[in-house]
Amino acid sequence: MMKTETHSTLSNSDKAVDPITLEIIRNRLETIADAMQNTLLRSAVSVILKEGEDGSSGLITRDGYMMAQARSNPIHLTVMPTAVQAVCEKYPREEMVPGDVFILNDPYNGGTHLPDILMVMPVFEKGKDGGDLWAFSVSLGHHEDVGGIDPGSMSARSTELNQEGLVIPPSSWLKAYKQDMATYDFVRFNTRTPETVLGDLQAQLATCYLGARSLNECVKEFGLETMQSAIEQLFDQAERLIRSKISEIPDGEYDFEDWAESLTPGMDRLPIHCKVTVKGSDIVIDFAGTTEQQPAPTNVNLAGTASAVHTILRGLTDPFAPLNDGAIRPITVTAPEGCMFNPTRPAAIALRAQVSCRANCSVLGALTKVMPDKVIAASHGGNHVISFSGKNWDGSRYGATDLIAGGLGARPEKDGIDHIDHAVGNCQMPPAEAWENHLPIEIVEHTPIPDSGGAGKTRGGLGVRRSYKMLKGPVTSCHRAERYNSVPWGVLGGLPGAPGRAYIERADGTIEEVPAKQVLELNTGDTIVRETPGGGGYGDPLERDAELVALDVQDRKVTRESAYRDYGVVLDDLANLVEDATVKRRAELAAERGPITWTMDRGRDGRI
Amino acid sequence: MRIGIDIGGTFTDIVGNTGDRLFYAKAPSSEDIVQGVGDGVKLMLKSAGIDPAQSKIEIEHVHGTTVATNALLESKGAKIAVLGTLGHQDALELGRMKRGQLYDLHRDAETPWHLAPGRVRIGIRERVDGRGNIQMPLDEDQVVSEVSRLVARYGIESIAVCYLNSHLNPTHERRTGEILEEKFPDITVSLSCVVNPTFREYERVCCTAFDAYVRPIVERYVAQLATHLDEGDRNLNLMQSRGGIASAEMVTHRPVSMFLSGPAGGVVGSLYTGRLSDRKNLITFDVGGTSTDVALVRDGRISISQEGRIDRFPLRVPMVGLETIGSGGGSIAWVDAGGGLRVGPQSAGSNPGPACYGRGGTEPTATDALLVLGYLNPGWFADGTMTLDAGASHQAIEDLAGKIGLSKIETALGIYRILVSQMADAISLVTVKKGEDPRKFTLLSFGGGGGMFSAAIAQSLGIREVLVPRSPGTLSAFGLLVSNFEIDKVVSHYVKSPREADTAAIEIAYQALEKEGAADLETNGSKTARIEFRRSADIRYSGQAYEIETMVPDGEFDAAALKQLTDNFHAEHEKVYGYSDTSRDFEIIALRCVAFRRPPETSREVLIGELPSGGDQAPVEVRRITLEGAGEVDCPIYRRTSMSIDNPIEGPCIIEQSDTTTLVLAGQSVHVDDARNMFIQGMK
The amino acid at B647? N
Do residue B139 and residue B170 come from a single domain?
A: yes
Judge whether B421 is closer than 8 Å to chain A, CB to CB: yes
Percent of chain B scoring above 90 in pLDDT = 59
In chain B, residues with a C-beta closer than 8 Å to the C-beta of A422 are: 99
pLDDT at B677: 94
Q: Using alpha carbons, list the distances in angstroms from residue B618 to B622, B632, B649, B650, B678.
A: 11, 21, 10, 12, 16
Q: Pick the more confident residue, B178 or B600.
A: B178
Do residue B88 and residue B183 come from a single domain?
A: yes
User: Nearest CB to B199: which of A28, A437, A442?
Assistant: A437
In a domain, B631, yes or no: no
A 199-218 residues inside an 8 A Cβ radius of B = 199, 203, 206
Query: How large is the average pLDDT for residues A175-183?
Result: 96
Query: How large is the average pLDDT for residues B363-372?
Result: 95
Q: Please give, one letter per residue, the 3-state secondary structure of A112-157.
A: CCCCEEEEEEEEECCHHHCCCEEEEEEEEEECCCCCCCCCCCCCCC
B154: part of which helix (H) or strand (E)? helix B140-154
Query: How large is the average pLDDT for residues B540-552?
Result: 86
Query: How large is the average pLDDT for residues B320-342?
Result: 88
In chain B, residues with a C-beta closer than 8 Å to the C-beta of A238 are: 338
Nearest chain B CA: its distance from A460 CA (Å): 13
In a domain, B444, yes or no: no
pLDDT at B553: 95
Do residue B18 and residue B93 come from a single domain?
A: no
- When divided into structural domains, chain B yields a total of 3
Interface contact B105-A316, CB threshold 8 A: yes
Judge whether B674 is closer than 8 Å to chain A, CB to CB: no
Nearest chain A CA: its distance from B57 CA (Å): 52
In a domain, B390, yes or no: no
Confidence of residue A12 (pLDDT cuts 50, 70, 90): very low
pLDDT digits (tens, 9 = 90+) for A487-524: 999 999 999 999 999 999 999 999 999 999 888 999 99
Q: Kindly tell me the burial class for residue A400, based on how many C-beta atoms sit within 10 Å of its own C-beta (0-12, 13-18, 19 or more).
A: middle
Euclidean distance between CA atoms A311 and A360, whole angstroms: 7
pLDDT at B525: 63
Interface contact A417-B129, CB threshold 8 A: no
Q: By CA distance, what is A420's nearest residue in B?
A: B97
CATH number at residue B118: 3.40.50
Do residue B51 and residue B170 come from a single domain?
A: no
Nearest chain B CA: its distance from A97 CA (Å): 28
pLDDT digits (tens, 9 = 90+) for A445-497: 999 999 999 999 999 999 999 999 999 999 999 898 999 999 999 999 999 99
Confidence of residue B335 (pLDDT cuts 50, 70, 90): very high
Euclidean distance between CA atoms B115 and B113, whole angstroms: 5
Task: Count CB pairs under 8 A between chains A and B.
Answer: 214
In a domain, B602, yes or no: no
pLDDT at A490: 98
Res. B585: pLDDT tops 50: yes
Euclidean distance between CA atoms A114 and A603, whole angstroms: 37
The domain segmentation of chain A, as residue ranges, is 19-241, 376-544+601-605
Do residue B115 and residue B155 come from a single domain?
A: yes
Nearest chain B CA: its distance from A594 CA (Å): 30
From B220, B250, B275, give the residue that closes a domain. B220
Interface contact A420-B96, CB threshold 8 A: no
Q: Using alpha carbons, list the distances in angstroms from residue B49 to A376, A488, A602, B2.
A: 67, 74, 79, 15
In a domain, B518, yes or no: yes
Euclidean distance between CA atoms B265 and A8, whole angstroms: 54
Res. B605: pLDDT tops 50: yes
Res. A9: pLDDT tops 50: no
Query: How large is the average pLDDT for residues B104-119?
Result: 95
Nearest chain B CA: its distance from A297 CA (Å): 25
pLDDT digits (tens, 9 = 90+) for B128-147: 999 999 999 999 999 999 99
The amino acid at B177? G
| Phi/psi of residue A81, nearest 5 degrees | -55, -40
pLDDT at B233: 54
Q: By CA distance, what is A554's nearest residue in B?
A: B119
pLDDT digits (tens, 9 = 90+) for B278-319: 999 999 998 877 788 899 999 999 988 888 888 889 999 999
Query: How large is the average pLDDT for residues B84-93?
Result: 98
Query: How large is the average pLDDT for residues B20-47?
Result: 79
Do residue B54 and residue B76 come from a single domain?
A: no
| Phi/psi of residue B243, nearest 5 degrees | 90, 15
In a domain, B177, yes or no: yes
Taking alpha carbons only, the member of B343, B296, B355, B346 closest to residue B321 is B296
Q: Pick the more confident residue, B610 or B533.
A: B533
Judge whether A220 is closer than 8 Å to chain B, CB to CB: no
Res. A136: pLDDT tops 90: yes
Q: By CA distance, what is A378's nearest residue in B?
A: B105
**Cα B433 versus chain centre, distance:** 19
Query: How large is the average pLDDT for residues A3-23?
Result: 61
Query: How large is the average pLDDT for residues A578-592?
Result: 97
Judge whether A544 is closer than 8 Å to chain B, CB to CB: no
From B220, B239, B271, give the residue that closes a domain. B220
Euclidean distance between CA atoms B263 and B270, whole angstroms: 11
Fold observed for domain A19-241:
Beta-Lactamase (3.30.450)
Res. B446: pLDDT tops 90: no
Interface contact A20-B410, CB threshold 8 A: yes
In chain B, residues with a C-beta closer than 8 Å to the C-beta of A28 are: 421, 425
Q: By CA distance, what is A314's nearest residue in B?
A: B103
Do residue B93 and residue B212 come from a single domain?
A: yes
Nearest chain A CA: its distance from B542 CA (Å): 10
Classify residue A395 by its DSSP letter: S
Res. B448: pLDDT tops 80: no
Confidence of residue B55 (pLDDT cuts 50, 70, 90): low
Q: By CA distance, what is B154's nearest residue in A?
A: A554
A528: part of which helix (H) or strand (E)? strand A527-531
Interface contact B98-A426, CB threshold 8 A: yes
Res. A11: pLDDT tops 90: no
Judge whether B338 is closer than 8 Å to chain A, CB to CB: yes
Nearest chain A CA: its distance from B84 CA (Å): 12
- Which of A149-158, B90-99, B397-406, B634-643 shows the lowest per-residue confidence on average (mean pLDDT)? A149-158
Do residue B581 and residue B516 come from a single domain?
A: yes
pLDDT at B470: 87
Interface contact B89-A447, CB threshold 8 A: yes
Res. A90: pLDDT tops 50: yes
| Phi/psi of residue B70, nearest 5 degrees | -65, -40
Interface contact A420-B97, CB threshold 8 A: yes
Confidence of residue A48 (pLDDT cuts 50, 70, 90): confident
Judge whether B532 is closer than 8 Å to chain A, CB to CB: no
| Structural domain harbouring B102 | 72-220
Report chain B's mean pLDDT, rounded to a whole number.
Answer: 90
pLDDT digits (tens, 9 = 90+) for B199-239: 999 999 999 999 999 999 999 988 888 877 765 556 889 99
In a domain, B242, yes or no: no
Confidence of residue B10 (pLDDT cuts 50, 70, 90): low
β-strands A331-334, A282-286 pairing: parallel
Confidence of residue B586 (pLDDT cuts 50, 70, 90): very high
Contact by Cβ (8 Å): B456, B250: no
User: Nearest CB to A27: which of B90, B107, B425?
Assistant: B425
Residue in A17, A18, A20 to test binding to B, most B beta-carbons within 10 Å:
A20
Res. B611: pLDDT tops 70: no
In a domain, B385, yes or no: no
pLDDT digits (tens, 9 = 90+) for A260-286: 999 888 888 999 999 999 999 999 999
Taking alpha carbons only, the member of B454, B445, B529, B516 closest to residue B485 is B529
Euclidean distance between CA atoms B580 and B578, whole angstroms: 7
pLDDT digits (tens, 9 = 90+) for A234-261: 999 999 999 999 999 999 999 999 999 9
Q: What is the DSSP string of B380-449?
A: SBTTTTB---HHHHHHHHHHHHHHHT--HHHHHHHHHHHHHHHHHHHHHHHHHHTT--GGGSEEEEESSS
pLDDT digits (tens, 9 = 90+) for A58-74: 999 999 999 999 988 88
Taking alpha carbons only, the member of B627, B497, B512 closest to residue B562 is B497
Confidence of residue A411 (pLDDT cuts 50, 70, 90): very high
Interface contact A320-B425, CB threshold 8 A: no
Do residue B148 and residue B37 come from a single domain?
A: no
Q: By CA distance, what is B412's nearest residue in A?
A: A20
Interface contact A241-B546, CB threshold 8 A: no
Nearest chain B CA: its distance from A171 CA (Å): 27
Euclidean distance between CA atoms A161 and B8, whole angstroms: 63
Do residue B512 and residue B582 come from a single domain?
A: yes
Res. B496: pLDDT tops 50: yes
Query: How large is the average pLDDT for residues B551-561?
Result: 95
Beta strands in A163-267 (DSSP E): 171-175, 178-179, 252-261
A 302-341 residues inside an 8 A Cβ radius of B = 311, 314-316, 318-322, 326
Do residue B112 and residue B54 come from a single domain?
A: no
Do residue B139 and residue B38 come from a single domain?
A: no
3-class secondary structure, B612 = coil
Residue in A245, A373, A419, A527 to test binding to B, most B beta-carbons within 10 Å:
A419
From B535, B568, B597, give the residue that closes a domain. B597
Please tell me whether the interface predicted TM-score (ipTM) of this complex is above 0.90.
Answer: yes
Q: Kindly tell me the burial class for residue A230, based on how many C-beta atoms sit within 10 Å of its own C-beta (0-12, 13-18, 19 or more).
A: buried
pLDDT at B232: 56
